[in-house]
Structure 1
Amino acid sequence: MSPTANVISTENGRSVHTAAAVRQRPVFPFTAIVGQEEMKLALLLNVIDPKIGGVMIMGDRGTGKTTTIRALADLLPEIEVVADDPFNSHPSDPELMGDEVRQQVAQGVDLPIVLKKVPMVDLPLGATEDRVCGTIDIEKALSEGVKAFEPGLLAKVNRGILYVDEVNLLDDHLVDVLLDSAASGWNTVEREGISVRHPARFVLVGSGNPEEGELRPQLLDRFGMHAEIHTVKEPALRVQIVEQRTEFDQDPQAFLERYQAQQNEMRQKLVDAQARLRQVVIDPDLRVKISQVCADLDVDGLRGDIVTNRAAKALAALEGRTEVTVSDIRRVVTLCLRHRLRKDPLESIDSGYKVEKVFNQVFGEAPTDT
């Protein structure tokens, strides 16, 4: 059942609607989250440039992984989608449209547009491939001659965030499917000679506890960034976190109002960064040095080079600049490379010391005190 919608504006002769206000559970504001800067930065950069390839977050239980990801999805501005479309099709970008919508646009059909929150899908551990990718009703297809496609979670999460908690416990085949879709931006379902394809452009976020095992190096390498989070040790900071959570639980509305200005500011910052990203440039000499770092660390393939370049550009865009600096690269290089050093599944992931050391050697930088 689709939500009722109200016309809010008319653009270029087409009506844009927004779903009527629905009472939702309040979400803890992103700007109120204390600490875990590494995780927050990695998530923001992936929102600015989803082609970075997602984030793998590994850390202790109870450190706010799920809270932070839900807060990020809630922070993002609403997006325009074609009304009643199962794939959240973009009204003008063919790369983000389902086949049916693309055909209607090509024919000049005036499609109704609605504004909706960025979708955030929490993938259950027991999900089957059919539930994730969708399935084709072969009987209906053969008897009626139509492609009877039942969309899965990848259709629902197009243009959104897919969160997989305990991704290290998920079946390797399913992780492979998710990573393939995240990299290509498309999901293809084939059954008995019938093929259906739809857009599946999303930010993939996986989390897990290292005590329960790591992903295989081949799968881990496919994640763009790897963030480590740890339990806060400083007593004063722990007290602040507990007090904030208590205040939020007691009166969510008052707590949200207190952070509304900061939320609006961060939301606008992300919108501006996404628009600025195309203008950001990185000096050829810095690109060579990034590749030198990857070579000296013996990183397999070129994903490390590509992701580090993309992440540095996204960081520059986030901070309102159009030129990447050495400082930008320093801040993202560990996040982009630490999980690519592990050759043996039994090895643990480097905390960042090796990456930092080689970075300093190549860039001629003095070590930081962090």
Structure 2
Amino acid sequence: MTTEKTLEQSRPVFPFTAIVGQDEMKLALILNVIDPKIGGVMIMGDRGTGKSTTVRALVDLLPEIDVIANDPFNSDPKDPELMSQEVREKIQKNEPLETAKRKISMVDLPLGATEDRVCGTIDIEKALTEGVKAFEPGLLAKANRGILYVDEVNLLDDHLVDVLLDSAASGWNTVEREGISISHPARFILVGSGNPEEGELRPQLLDRFGMHAQIGTVKDPQLRVQIVDQRASFDEAPLAFRNECGESQSKLTTRIAEARKLLPMVQIDFESRVRISQMCSELGVDGLRGDIVTNRASQALAAFEGRVQVSVEDIYRVSPLCLRHRLRKDPLESIDTGDRVREVFLKVFNFVPNE
């Protein structure tokens, strides 16, 4: 606890609730925390628009989870799918396990990281001489049940992006060396950010992200002044600035925790599900990921609003985030702003949005 407090004092993070604008990005991040099965979020925007600041600010809002104490994989004491092999073996032998509460973690993946650093390594010599599976966990192990953040993901090697997306989708990471194979749970929310000027991800990779948030530079002069003033206040007295935002941060944390509990009870009616699929079909979305993510995101939004029934308004708000990046067939084509998705949505749902 002392270490965490020391880190907090030495490296204060800008409060999430103090971030002005960029509502699309903030909503996408919150929905993924409420339901990690949405599949992560890709954030694309201009330089200096607060992408990294917002993602790192999310850490403050993350709720606590139960973990097995001193376990490098943050194993869940109750869910075998989120347990390491060692923990499962101890449970089978009825050995006592010490549990602890820990905040959901966020792991930063450096741009120059190697595959071994990401996936982990096997000590072949130790395995052969001592007959034990000597595994050194990587970043995927640390990110299990948390968030893995990749800044400038569009500059990351395609092979490494594939590895991350495969692990995020399957929930498992497998390392194989010289005939020795080790698997461990790696269920995390993948958050990527980048600048479109430096190139987009291939459509096949983009499709694997659950949501896509586009952010731009704030144009309103008064808002820009507010952002500059806030940043100056934070740089001058970060702890005092964070204390001012303490109440709003606490309220949002509680709201997210309550939404996570409410989520299993949220229903989306059959008619709405049919129309979501009709919308995806008319937009020419390949596969069924778009249908699944739109259903999940609208349920997460309803839970965040404290409701157990998804409304058409919920679906309208999340559809551009879930579908715009799935429309691009040509790698040279730019990503839809969301207008085309909204246009088809209004036609399919015969819906008039509240302005």
State the TM-score, normalized to the length of structure 1: 0.93
Aligned to 2:239: 253
Once residues 182 and 5 of structure 2 are traced to their aligned partners in structure 1, the CA distance between those partners, rounded to angstroms, is 33
What residue is the counterpart of 2:252 in the other structure?
266
1:277 corresponds in structure 2 to 263
Runs of at least 4 residues off by over 6 Å: none
CA contact (8 A) 1:19 1:114 kept: no
What do residues 19-67 of structure 1 show as CA deviations (whole Å, max 9, x unaligned)? 7654011111111111000000000000111111100000001111111
CA RMSD of aligned residues (A): 1.3
For 1:116 and 1:367, locate their aligned partners in 2 and report how far apart those are by CA, in whole Å: 41
1:1-370 to 2 correspondences below 5 Å: 21-24=4-7, 25-366=11-352
Q: Contact 2:313–2:353 at 8 Å: present in 1 too?
A: no
* Structure 1 residue 91, shift from structure 2 partner: 2.0
Q: Which range moved further: 293-302 or 100-109?
A: 100-109
- Do the aligned residues in 2 keep the contact of 1:74 with 1:118 (CA within 8 Å)? no
Quote how far apart the aligned CAs of 1:101 are: 1.0
Q: Aligned partners of 1:284, 1:101: CA distance in 2, in Å?
A: 40
Find the residue that maps to 1:89 and give its secondary structure. coil
| CA apart distance, 1:366 | 2.9
Instruction: Please state how far the C-alpha of 1:96 moved relative to its aligned partner.
Output: 1.4
Query: How far apart, in 2, do the equivalents of 1:29 and 1:176 lie?
Result: 32
Rounded Cα–Cα distance in structure 1 between residues aligned with 2:273 and 2:331? 30
Contact 2:106 2:149 survives alignment (8 Å): yes
Residue 53 of structure 1 contacts residue 223 of structure 1 at CA under 8 Å; is this kept in 2?
Answer: yes
Instruction: Please report how far the alpha carbon of residue 242 of structure 1 lies from its aligned counterpart in structure 2 after TM superposition.
Output: 1.1
Deviation at 1:102? Answer: 1.5
Q: Distance in 2 between matches of 1:58 and 1:99?
A: 37
Q: Normalising by the residue count of structure 2, what TM-score does the alignment of the two structures yield?
A: 0.96
Cα-to-partner distance string for 1:221-276 (whole Å, 9 max, x where unaligned): 00000000001111111111111111111112211111111111111111111111
C-alpha spacing 1:319/1:213, structure 2 compared with 1 (3 Å) = same
The AA in structure 2 aligned to 1:153 is L
**1:88-135 C-alpha deviation (Å, 9 max, x unpaired):** 112222121111012112322222223333211111111111110001
The one-letter code sitting in structure 1 at the alignment partner of 2:330 is: D
Structure 1 CA distance, aligned partners of 2:13 and 2:4? 15
C-alpha separation between the residues in 1 aligned to 2:191 and 2:339? 24
What CA deviation, in whole Å up to 9, does each residue of 1:192-243 have, x standing for no partner? 1111111111110011111111100000000000000001111111111111
Q: Distance in 2 between matches of 1:106 and 1:29?
A: 43
Q: 8 Å contact 1:29–1:75 — kept in the other structure?
A: no
- Identity among equivalent pairs (%): 71
Write the distance in 2 (CA, Å) between the matches of 1:308 and 1:96. 25
Q: SS of the counterpart of 2:208? A: coil
CA deviation vs aligned residue, 1:306-350 (integer Å, no higher than 9, x gap): 000000000000000000000000000000000000000010001
Whole-angstrom CA distance in 1 between matches of 2:53 and 2:121: 31
The 2-side partners of 1:365 and 1:89 are apart by 44
Q: Which runs of 5+ in 2 are unaligned?
A: none
Structure 1 residues 367, 76: CA separation in 2 closer, same or farther (over 3 Å shift)? closer
Could you tell me which runs of 5 or more consecutive residues in structure 1 were left unpaired when the two chains were aligned.
1-17
> Which protein is richer in helix relative to its size?
2
- Quote the Cα distance in structure 1 between the aligned partners of 2:166 and 2:93: 31
**Amino acid paired to 2:347:** Q
**Matched residues in 1 for 2:327 and 2:2: separation?**
47
Aligned AA (2:186): A
d(CA) in 1 for partners of 2:127, 2:222: 62
Q: Tell me by how many angstroms 1:368 deviates.
A: 6.5
Amino acid at match of 1:118: I
Letter matched to residue 84 of structure 2: G
Preserved contact between residue 357 and residue 367 of structure 1 (Cα < 8 Å): no
C-alpha distance in 1, partners of 2:286/2:76?
A: 36
SS in 2 for 1:23: helix
Alpha-carbon distance in structure 1 between the residues aligned to 2:53 and 2:273: 35
Match of 1:6 in 2: none
Q: 1:368 to 1:58 in 2, by over 3 A?
A: farther
* Equivalent pairs, count: 352
